[in-house]
Amino acid sequence: MMSGCPACAAAPMALETASGPALQFSVPGVHCAACIGQIERGLAHLNGVATVRVNLSLKRLSVTGSVDADAVIGTVTDLGFEVFPLDVASLEARRDDQGRALLTRLAVAGFAMMNVMLLSVAVWSGAAGATRDMFHMISAAIALPAVAYAGQPFFVSALAALRGGRLNMDVPISLAILMASAMSLFETIQGGTHAYFDAALSLTFFLLIGRYIDHRTRSAARSAARELTALEQHTAERLTGERSETVAVADLQVDDIVSVPTGARIPVDGVLLSQNALMDRSFLTGESAAVTLSTGDTLHAGEINLAAPLRLRAVSVGADTSLRRMAALVETAEHARNSYTALADRAARIYAPAVHGLALAAFLSWWWATGDLRLSLNIAIAVLIITCPCALGLAVPAVSTAAVSRLFAAGCLVRHATALERLAEVDMVLFDKTGTLTRPAVVVPDSLTARDRGVALALAQSSHHPLSRALVTALGNTTAATVTDLSEVAGQGICGRYDGMDVRLGRGPWLGAGFTGLGLWIGNATTQPLEVPETLREGVTDALANLDLPCEIMTGDSAGPANALAKQLKLPVIWDATPSDKLRRLRILTDAGRHVLMVGDGLNDTATMAEAHAAIAPATALEASRCAADVVILRDSFAVLPLILRVARATRRLSRQNFAIAAAYNAIAIPVALAGHATPLAAALAMSASSLTVLLNAQRMRGVQ
């Protein structure tokens, strides 16, 4: 049985936690709560361990305390799990400082707004003279520091836009907040009747809600290129004569001789010097089976050595390796995706200049007509507030948040801010095959006796290889036999002792059989083959039946299995496709005007997923592929795929409706403000009503099926 790891890396990754630096490891074999409990209990007794945490979704282990990484690796390995340390320098920090700051500013604005509104009630109730002036002064003392602090996200963005010689949505927002505050302070100092501190604070509060909603949508995205970098091996064993030394991979030179232990990733591209090797290159090529190599064959960075330790001669190092070149492709594609202009940003380009023009026209017109500077400023501020793009600022984030919640309830995680907008534009779907449309399965022959089934189950339960998991599922309610002395031979299978006999479950050649697939050997009996066909992932047939888009399969597998699946699903297929082939096909379709959705799970799909108009990955995908995806399907079934597209289209439709609501509100409110019939306070109340209407309209997303 092959024991290759679908994630990996090399040097320990340390994160600062409350209890000290944390060592981070990839544990790809973790698949349930029992696995988590076994690892956490097993490490809890290790000397120096303070805390142990296993993250099931990321399949990562975090250990804090004064403990050596090698001790952790040894203990987890003894527990029967593969474990690979991760490098912190190659991963992003997980702390969301920006989100925390936005939430703090939102709380300050809300608290100040409620207190100032309480003071305003006294003024509205008839307080006059010194009492009114005192309430205005208290309101100013509360509102001005709160606005200065809470409004910084808008002020900083607006200032940056003005310095760049352009306008964005934050420019009219900042002007409205600042002018309302400044005019209110002026009225307070002059002993005026009206002050609008509550209007300035309510503007800030509602707009911060939209900004925080938008940030939460964006914060799920992580760079796939960074994740690919984290997959690199960071140390290697360099051989000089008979002497071995551990060096940084960055220090390796072309023609260096490198030793690679069993289960480790190849650190650089090179030529195999050992007599033979068994490699798992599925995450590079998409091939579903391990590849047997002989002396002189090419090895690529990122492949996993499944069999005995091997030696290679380095050919490409550093930025020239296969993995690094793929990371460069992904990074280029991510930059292209990040240049996509969101719907709200496109609206801002038109809206912001129009708002400024109206406010300036109102000020100049009333000043020319009346000569009253205070009245003209009040009307101009009312126009700015009443046209303040609060509803526009909430239009897309409100709908997006409702859509994200709807999809999460259906078992899908949306990762990118513009994902739903791009998914709504999709007009073609490209599928990877292995691990995406298909999953490994094991067919248990009827010839297996109850004893054979029990032995097979006992052996399979001791391994975390996908085929072992599939066999455990296939054996159903079988009772496991008592098998002792269990051990796993990397790349070959599982062996043990049962009733005084040697028993094995693994690859045919290792069992001495004349086939290459999976087999069961008990004592001196003839090896019994176990058929291992690929089966469709649950929900694939339903998903394709309900997708109203042309679809195509691209796979690194050979023609046989590729054509068999294509015939079953009645879809065109491209086989033996390398990552470059997939990317080339995507670019051909894109140049033809297609908006392509890529659905994949492996390293060989990552660059194509990053460059596609939109991308979806299953939860079982490689971490880098999940990072490149716009949506991750958390459940095993793909039946939810059409719902994702329907929700995306509904998101676009409801967002446009919200823009229409905001436009209709402005069409009514702006003439009233221009005519001088709206005070800044009335304008703020009208603005709040339009914002609530937009939020209520977004809740219609709940009805999308």
Strands 428-431 and 596-599: parallel
Using CA of residue 416, residue 421, residue 425, residue 426, what is the dihedral sign? Answer: positive
- The one catalytic residue in 133, 214, 432, 630 is 432
432 catalytically annotated: yes
Buried b (16+ CB within 10 A) or exposed e, 601-621: bbbbbbbbbbbbbbbbbbebb
Tokens of 325: 């070149």
Interatomic CA distance for residues 185 and 23, integer angstroms: 54
- Element counts in the chain: helices (H) and strands (E): 24, 28
Interatomic CA distance for residues 3 and 41, integer angstroms: 23
Give Cβ neighbours of residue 160 (< 8 Å, ≥ 6 apart).
Answer: none
Interatomic CA distance for residues 623 and 98, integer angstroms: 24
Rounded (10°) CA dihedral 226, 229, 235, 237 = 170
Interatomic CA distance for residues 544 and 680, integer angstroms: 55
Distance from CA of residue 499 to its chain's centroid? 49
Q: What's the Cα-to-Cα distance from 491 to each of 5, 277, 292, rounded to whole Å?
A: 11, 10, 11
What is the per-residue DSSP string for 221-285?
---HHHHHHHTS--EEEEEETTEEEEEEGGG--TT-EEEE-TTPBP-SEEEE-SSEEEEE-HHHH
Interatomic CA distance for residues 344 and 651, integer angstroms: 13
470 and 517 Cβ atoms separated by less than 8 Å: no
Interatomic CA distance for residues 587 and 577, integer angstroms: 14
Residue with tokens 């409004």: 151
Residues annotated as catalytic (active site), given as ranges: 432
